[in-house]
Structure 1
């Protein structure tokens, strides 16, 4: 790998306006990519209706993107060595625009799913390489500021996605959720090419590890499909899910053995020998999985059981970016001076506080009560990405950053998918449990239940209608209790993650050449 290192030395950081424009271009590309992982969620009913399929089949629009993206992200390090950072990034942005255009033009669901998979795959290298190119544009001392600029886009985009997607679907038409990428992509590609084409990294022909790649596609694909279809097929009661789980586990085992013994592995697993890398990457992934699961749960509960519209639920989620945008530059500028483990600890404590506040919600909670924890959560998010990325990449030589960034982003994306599946499944299971417990107490011996029933009956409702109303109330309460359970458990898990961060020994000065230090 040593052959790749000299090229980095030749490129001094960008200066003045060039650095500003470089940051804007790279952030725009990241924004477009992250936005696309969540923009289709609210538009699913419209897309499914328009293309004449069920909403269940419609979820493949999200699944296909996620599966293809998860497979492509860890390949970044390998593809960078072969094609160069700038060329690979440009190809990723241009192909992403083409795939977006094809998605918008798709005549039926099969074609749309195919183009979404293509879009997810070509988007793979974009996020890790935007991180790498941005770090190379700033002097070492300002690496934290570079990461602050980058993390703002990754924080704001998932929240903007549903809002923008809902608005476009309601006011224009769903294909525009894909067409919107084209102008953004053109601007990002043009500026990036102008600024970075002379800053290409050296390439060397690396043989393609075809077996490693095939095993990666096999186990990641199986695992993602298992997570996405699990709830619908009742998890391990379904032979399909069991088969996918077995393929994922066996495929993963073979993948590990092959990659650790192959001379030119498609994914650089030797990074896990470094304590900073594995503790930072695992803490980021688990915390992101928890965060993402709760980001999915809150609007689901609001829309299904609290009578909120998609737009109102979006408004509850939106303020999460306010304090994040305010505090991110502060964290970025100070992360070199203050131990990043302290910042990460503070972030996890605030996340735990926010989730504990949410675990005290009841069905009478008003808009203000529900929105306050969301606003506070912005503080946690500002202190989340930057310190953890600093820990994960600390002590790495520049030629290893694309591989490290690709691998840590892969873990984060996969954990996000797992967080969503586990959260929604647990939510429904807990609700069923609470429902059976609450239903037992609705009997003649319970004064509250009998007075509620007689009150409903006296307003002219039939017995069936009274029981229907009571059942709806019991349902609402059982889902409320299930929501509280998950928020409370998530708060505890955030506290348990804190010791993991302290296993790292981050070096001063970020990604330096002292790679040997702290490797074990």
Structure 2
């Protein structure tokens, strides 16, 4: 395909070299935002940011990253994969240098936004380098490995962050990323991708469509990122942002719908198969938010920091690698539905294991459930992407741009929508549970009075005034009640995730049954026609 490298036959040693470079480039593109998300509390403290201000840092990255494939795909087609690779790496290094020069919050937001756009080509480059390590007959397995690698960097970021922070302040994270980018540039210049086909692909209206859709996606991303923090109904700007995004999407849709060579195939997007794919991809990303938001959020609520979560994320990383390996080894047209359904089953089991958490829950308590969810995360992505690619290619190679945008939107927006929806649900349930718990805290109750006295004794050495000591005891009891309310609310999130996954499983099984029946009906007439032809010949 234009914009992609060719796939010549390589020696085994060269294939191994391509794989190593692919892992390095993938790490360079994937660790940036993961390091920010994993260490956001420390960065907020260092810059003196409020929770609302801190949320903008990872949000700015996603706001620009989600629409980048809309224009970068044609850049590869127009200028070639080698020039694309080197220019992308130089741009990424320039952005990383800006990281090291940050002195203000506004500059940090700008750098995160530019980094989101610059990281997209890095992910694609890592993908292409990994594919070069596999022969043509095993490109499907290479696809599973390349896509699985793109997911492992979040747990890796959690694993290496404490050691990096021990070397200095949060700027050490950017220094490490800068070193990775330099190593990637050296590796890509030394070991170049094979040349591919170049075509003149840009049209003037492509830039107009991008100018309309990029801010629209950014506005939606901003609302999803800030909705839970600033609360949905309290900030009028969210309504105006969604209205503006809808208007931009409508104008872009009308332009693309009536173009002779549209950038986005609007008619294909409206087909039943494409809509079902988008729903499935979005739902899977939503379900996997149980791991990134709910499990981690519960442990953070219970006081677990990065040091206590090391083994937790090591198990998660092992699960991702195991799921990726199983997906690659068993990959095939007949096994793809089984892999997808198996991933949903693992999500259901993991969510049900987690929904009885207590205040005594620790990372070791959730190892089994998170291992299952990590395996599911590594298992589903390959079959999902290949299914969408085959549907797009069946309509023509020019549909790949539309599919790339659709897949990126479902994964990026789904990654924001999951924490936004589940976080909103958790806050609502937490307030309800907190009201129920505090309503039953009668100071005249002997049990409550004894607990207040015990809480007050914590401050006996520092506070001699019994009234003030009693007040401090009441405060500690209120904190305990709030913590218990959060734990119950997170249990409800786990249960909700299991319910949504069960509904999605039933829908997936129904679609598999419909597809299998349609395939049999298509095969039977063909077999009957062949038999009739044989009889006539005899």
TM-score interval for Structure 1 and Structure 2 normalised by the shorter chain:
0.7 to 0.9
Compared CA separation, residues 53 and 439, structure 1 to 2 (3 A): closer
Per the alignment, do residues 87 and 411 of structure 1 end up closer, same or farther by CA in structure 2, a change over 3 Å counting? farther
Q: Counterparts of 2:324 and 2:364 in 1: how far apart (Å)?
A: 25
> Taking structure 1 as reference, are residues 144 and 506 closer, same or farther at Cα in structure 2, changes over 3 Å only?
farther
Matched, 1:486 2:490: no
The question of 1:417 aligning with 2:416 is answered yes
Give the 5 Å matches for 1:13-92: 13-54=9-50, 56-92=52-88
- RCO comparison, higher one (Cα < 8 Å, 6+): 1
Seen in structure 2, the aligned counterparts of structure 1 residues 216 and 443 have a Cα distance that, compared at 3 Å, is same
- The TM-score normalised by the length of structure 1 is 0.86
Question: What pairs up with 1:452-467 in 2 under 5 angstroms?
Answer: 452-453=451-452, 456=455, 462-467=469-474
Match of 2:282 in 1: 285
CA–CA distance in 1 between the matches of 2:515 and 2:308? 42
CA 1:198–1:269 in structure 2 vs 1: closer, same or farther (change >3 Å)? Answer: same
Tell me, in whole angstroms, the C-alpha distance in 2 between the residues paired with 1:215 and 1:298. Answer: 37
Specify the alignment match of 2:439 in structure 1: 440
Unaligned runs of 5+ in 2: 461-465, 517-538
Question: TM-score, with normalisation over the residues of structure 2?
Answer: 0.84
Aligned position for 2:481? 474
Cα deviation, residue 194, structure 1: 4.6
- CA RMSD after TM alignment: 3.0
CA distance in 2 between partners of 1:66 and 1:10 (Å): 30
Question: Of the candidates 200, 214, 218, which is equivalent to residue 204 of structure 1?
Answer: 200
Distance 2:69 2:245 in 1: 18
Return closer, same or farther for 1:271/1:184 CA change in 2, 3 Å cut-off: farther
Q: Structure 1 residues 290, 358: CA separation in 2 closer, same or farther (over 3 Å shift)?
A: same
> Against the structure 1 CA distance between its residues 299 and 125, is the aligned structure 2 distance closer, same or farther, given a 3 Å change threshold?
same
Alpha-carbon distance in 1 for matches of 2:441, 2:497: 31
CA positional deviation for 1:331? 1.9
Aligned residues of 1:354 and 1:377 also touching (Cα < 8 A): yes
Q: Which residue of 2 aligns with 1:324?
A: 320
User: In the alignment, is the contact (CA less than 8 A) between 1:280 and 1:501 conserved in 2?
Assistant: no
SS of 1:138's partner is coil
SS at match of 2:361: coil
1:346–1:79 distance in 2 versus 1, CA, 3 Å: same
- Provide closer, same or farther for how the CA distance between residues 294 and 429 of structure 1 changes in structure 2, counting only shifts above 3 A: farther
What is the alpha-carbon distance in structure 1 between the residues aligned to residue 105 and residue 505 of structure 2? 44
2:309 is aligned to 313
Superimposed CA distance per residue, residues 409-460 of structure 1 (whole angstroms, 9 cap, x where no aligned partner): 2320111012122222222221011111222222368675455346556886
SS of corresponding position for 1:384:
helix
1:248 aligns with 2:245: yes
Instruction: Tell me, in whole angstroms, the C-alpha distance in 2 between the residues paired with 1:64 and 1:426.
Output: 24
Give the paired residue count.
502
Describe the superposition over 1:295-340 as per-residue Cα deviations: whole angstroms up to 9, x where unpaired: 1232232223x22223213432331121331342232122116430
CA distance in 2, matches of 1:14, 1:246: 52
What does residue 496 of structure 1 align with? 503
Looking at structure 1, the residues matched to 267 and 251 of structure 2 have their Cα atoms a distance apart, in angstroms, of 16
Shift of 1:382: 2.8
In structure 1, the partner of 2:366 is 370
In terms of mean alpha carbon deviation, does 450-459 or 411-420 score higher?
450-459
Counterparts of 1:187 and 1:201, CA distance in 2: 27
- Which of structures 1 and 2 has the bigger CA Rg? 2
Distance 2:59 2:286 in 1: 16
